[in-house]
Amino acid sequence: MYYIYILESEKDGNFYTGYSEDLKKRMADHRTGKVYSTKDRLPVKLIYYEACLNQQDATHREKYLKSAWGKRYLKTRLKNYLIGVAPIR
């Protein structure tokens, strides 16, 4: 199983989208500063994730969620959470 996930930086309010086969380990890596993309944006929290059966589907879904259409989808999907939170960039 592969997971696509969205993190929110509590430092700057920005979002990070990624994927991993082991979500718990990847979250531990993010929280301890082992991930270059988020190490200067700590602390981060997991706000959304999806599961895919294979890596190819996960990478396609990650790419989609990073697109303008994907960001619109997430804005609608997370509408109640995002009230009062900065827009997804």
What CATH number has the domain bearing residue 54?
3.40.1440
- pLDDT of 88: 60
Our count of domains for the chain comes to 1
Nearest to 1 by CA among 48, 49, 51, 50: 51
Does any domain span residue 45?
A: yes
Q: Where are the beta strands (DSSP E) in 29-69?
A: 44-52
Does any domain span residue 89?
A: no
pTM over 0.85: yes
CA Rg value for the chain: 13
Domain residue limits at 28: 2-82
Does any domain span residue 76?
A: yes
- pLDDT of 89: 61
- pLDDT of 81: 81
CA distance 68 to 37: 20
Does any domain span residue 87?
A: no
- Per the CB < 8 A criterion, the answer to whether 5 and 18 are in contact is yes
Does any domain span residue 56?
A: yes
- Per the CB < 8 A criterion, the answer to whether 4 and 61 are in contact is yes
- pLDDT of 47: 94
Per-residue pLDDT for the chain (89 aa), expressed as one digit of tens each? 999 999 999 999 899 999 999 999 999 999 999 999 999 999 999 999 999 999 999 999 999 999 999 999 998 998 888 776 556 66
